Amino acid sequence: MAEDHVDVLIVGAGPAGLMLATWLAKCGVKARIVDKRGTKIFNGQADGLQCRTLEILDSFGIGHRAWRESNHMLEICLWNPDSNGVIHRSSRLPDTIPGISRFQQVVLHQGRIERFFLDAINEFSSGGVAVERGVLPTSLEIDRTCVEDPEAYPITVNLRHLSEEDATPKQSSTMSNGISAQDGLFRSNLMADDTADMLKTSELNQKANTTETIKAKYMVGADGAHSWVRKEIGLKLKGESTDYIWGVLDIVPITDFPDIRSRCAVHSANSGSIMVIPRENKLVRLYIQLTTTSKIQGQDSRTDRSWITPKVILESAQRILSPYKLDYRKLDWWTAYQIGQRVGSSFGVHDRVFLAGDAVHTHSPKAGQGMNVSMQDAYNLGWKLSSVIKGHSNRSILKTYEFERKAIAHALIEFDHKFSRLFSGRPAKDIMDEEGISMDEFRDAFQKGNLFASGIAVDYGRSLIVTKPVAENGASEATPATTSTPVTGIQDLAPGLKVGQRIPSVKVLNQSDARPWHLQELLPSNGTWRLLVVPGDVSQPGQKSRLEKLCGQLSNPESFLRRFTPNTARYDSVIEVITIHGAPRQSVDVFDFPEVLRPFHDVDGWDYEKIFVDDQSYHEGHGEFYKTFNIRRDEGCLVILRPDQYISYVGKLDDYESADRFFSEFMLPQNNLTLPNV
Ligand code: FAD
């Protein structure tokens, strides 16, 4: 039997698996990604992209594709019954809270997003990595004796290659209004998991099948809600036993409902609620909660889905939107799917096998979180795995994956729970109607939920790589925190740059050529840590001398910049230094800054892409970096950013020692005291 060695084996090529494969390809890690299906999805399924997800896609260079092709959702309209029980528009709100990101929430179907990832993986790996479709793992063994050895391959997986027929999902072509449409039921969790069936069928097809053994250092189960990997490692999802059943229609509507091109939440007096999502290509998605499994007594809803058809979903929508008329010319896709609110007891085992996405949490689709949170799990994990595999960090940082993402999954379930009640309940008739849902409460929850739903509110707790003060998140024993002398910075030096959160973006100018850049554009996802040197007004002698003191230490042959960067690697490949100063741009020149801030490279010459200024641009206004983040120009600060743009540390400009101690907690010396060209 063929045998291969890989650093990471990814099972499942949905949004989570593809995000991970993109990271690993970008960082040059040897990975394979397999999916039991023969094709990627072409339409339907998840659609909403939060602004944080767009920031992340942009950091891989694919954000513009999603931004251009998607439908931008700028407004939410809330509709509810008036005193006569007739629906009317009661509020209009911005869909994304103004100012929280340079992107706003958009909608684009999952198949396109998967396409962007596939192209990126191909580009980053120079064609070396591609999704292997129609491939199924059949056994998993973990050699526990060597899980702590960073060089070991403790995971053995057997893979079976299916025939094309086995790997092709069966489509039950649906006729409605005389029009055929693709349905998403083959991927719906209303269907029983078909992994076992596929295995059986493939076993029969001896000719087509081949098997192969993979030895892997790490493995990630991104294989969806039924996760085979989760079962193999003996983990379970825990949570509510009642499942909600949702009907979803993607149609080109014919309607006199005036807000059909805005996102709407419509509560009817007695016919239920509907979420309207305007999409690309004139499509509109309608989400309707049809029922809960607890209401389908005596039936196994997973197998009997015959009662759910596009007609049933459409008729529900028509009742809710009455007296407005609703029909369609084109039905593009439809599905019904069943959702419970559950989170994995653990996100992996031995810090060797991890779960991401639906494999480790499920919840309703109302807030468009499924695909986003799944991708963001993988976004959190990808750089950590790369860093350990490349020998830059020790294995301790892997513990922060579960610590950080489990908290998000629980927050998501809590949000979903609250929102489900408000969305699905009957509107209150008056203030005495305690069983009904108050529409004021719904609007408030919607507004508050918007920050959470944007993905921007993610705030990781204190750990080895997030230097919050102990008291702030009540860090417990379970926190994968620092050793005996944890590094703690001084948040007050930059109150607008919150440790634990992603760095917000404003425009800064390149000192050398005056070009404005969004700060986040300077932080592409390539596995690099960033040291943001924020020296304030360097035309003032005090700030200048503090900067020079810091740079003296940074350019020392034993500084953390040099210790943790391999001899053969570029000076900015492990920790990149970016300066954003606050003196008037024209009062200083790039060569006024110490050389370590603008290193010389044998091939490229001086690096002009490292020093930026907070000043007025010629054409795009003033980013107001110092003002926005409340940083004093006569004080400045040092900021450490993780490779995923989250803020690890804010401290004094000239406190080199704390930064050194921070990196020394988890980074591995590369035996390199003579970095070239710095
Ligand atoms: P998935 O997208 O489920 O991907 C898992 C992948 O793993 C699949 O490609 C599958 O073929 C593969 N796989 C599974 N088992 C194996 C195995 N044993 N071996 C190899 N490969 C395997 N979210 C929204 O926000 N809005 C929506 O409208 C919406 N609609 C949905 C409709 C349906 C029918 C479903 C199932 C989900 C929907 N979701 C929606 C949820 C959203 O699609 C998911 O949250 C998101 O896709 C999760 O991404 P993932 O990568 O974790 O898992």
- pLDDT tens per residue across span 109-136: 888 999 999 999 999 999 999 999 999 9
Instruction: Considering the candidates 218, 244, 287, 649, report the single residue annotated as catalytic.
Output: 287
Total number of residues shown for the chain: 678
Q: Can 626 be counted among the known catalytic residues?
A: no
215 contacts 155 by C-beta, under 8 angstroms: yes
Ligand 1 center from residue 597 Cα (angstroms): 45
> What is the C-alpha separation between 64 and 98, in angstroms, rounded?
20
Ligand 1 atom with the smallest distance to the CA of 184 is: 34
* Confidence grade of residue 514 (pLDDT, cut at 50, 70, 90): very high
Ligand 1 center from residue 138 Cα (angstroms): 20
11 contacts 17 by C-beta, under 8 angstroms: yes
> What is the C-alpha separation between 113 and 545, in angstroms, rounded?
49
Ligand 1 center from residue 40 Cα (angstroms): 11
pLDDT at 180: 45
Q: Which of 264, 258, 266 is nearest to 277 (CA)?
A: 264
Tell me the three state secondary structure of residue 412: helix
User: What is the 3 state secondary structure string of 489-515?
Assistant: CCHHHCCCCCCCCECCCCEEEECCCCC
CB neighbours of residue 299 within 10 Å: 12
Q: Which residue has the higher pLDDT, 387 or 45?
A: 387
pLDDT at 439: 73
* Confidence grade of residue 370 (pLDDT, cut at 50, 70, 90): confident
Q: Can 94 be counted among the known catalytic residues?
A: no
Q: Answer yes or no: is pLDDT of 176 > 50.
A: no
Tens of pLDDT, residue by residue over 293-350, are 555 444 554 545 677 889 989 999 999 999 999 999 899 989 887 767 889 999 999 9
Q: What single DSSP character describes residue 528?
A: -
Tens of pLDDT, residue by residue over 489-513, are 999 999 999 999 999 999 999 999 9
Candidate ranges 235-244, 410-419, 564-573; pick with highest mean pLDDT: 564-573
Provide the CATH topology of domain 2-454: FAD/NAD(P)-binding domain (3.50.50)
91 contacts 78 by C-beta, under 8 angstroms: yes
CATH 3.40.30.20 region(s) of the chain?
470-664
Q: Answer yes or no: is pLDDT of 530 > 80.
A: yes
Beta pairing partners, 183: 334
Transcribe 332-357 into DSSP letters: EEEEEEEE--EEES-SEETTTEEE-G
List pocket residues of ligand 1, CB cut-off 6 Å. 11-17, 34-37, 45-48, 110, 136-137, 184, 187-189, 195, 222-224, 228, 248, 335, 337, 357-359, 365, 368, 370-371, 374
* Confidence grade of residue 167 (pLDDT, cut at 50, 70, 90): confident
Q: Can 598 be counted among the known catalytic residues?
A: no
Instruction: Considering the candidates 7, 32, 35, 47, report the single residue annotated as catalytic.
Output: 47
Instruction: Considering the candidates 365, 504, 516, 535, report the single residue annotated as catalytic.
Output: 365
**What tokens appear for 454 in the block?**
């944007």
CATH 3.50.50.60 region(s) of the chain?
2-454
369 contacts 452 by C-beta, under 8 angstroms: no
Q: What single DSSP character describes residue 193?
A: P
640 contacts 529 by C-beta, under 8 angstroms: yes
Q: Can 47 be counted among the known catalytic residues?
A: yes
Instruction: Calculate the CA dihedral of residues 362, 368, 371, 375 and round it to 10 degrees.
Output: -100
Domain spanning 470-664: CATH superfamily: Phenol hydroxylase, C-terminal dimerisation domain (3.40.30.20)
Range 509-548 burial, b when 16+ CB lie within 10 A, else e: bbbbeeebbbbbebbebbbbbbbbbbbbbbeeeebbebbe
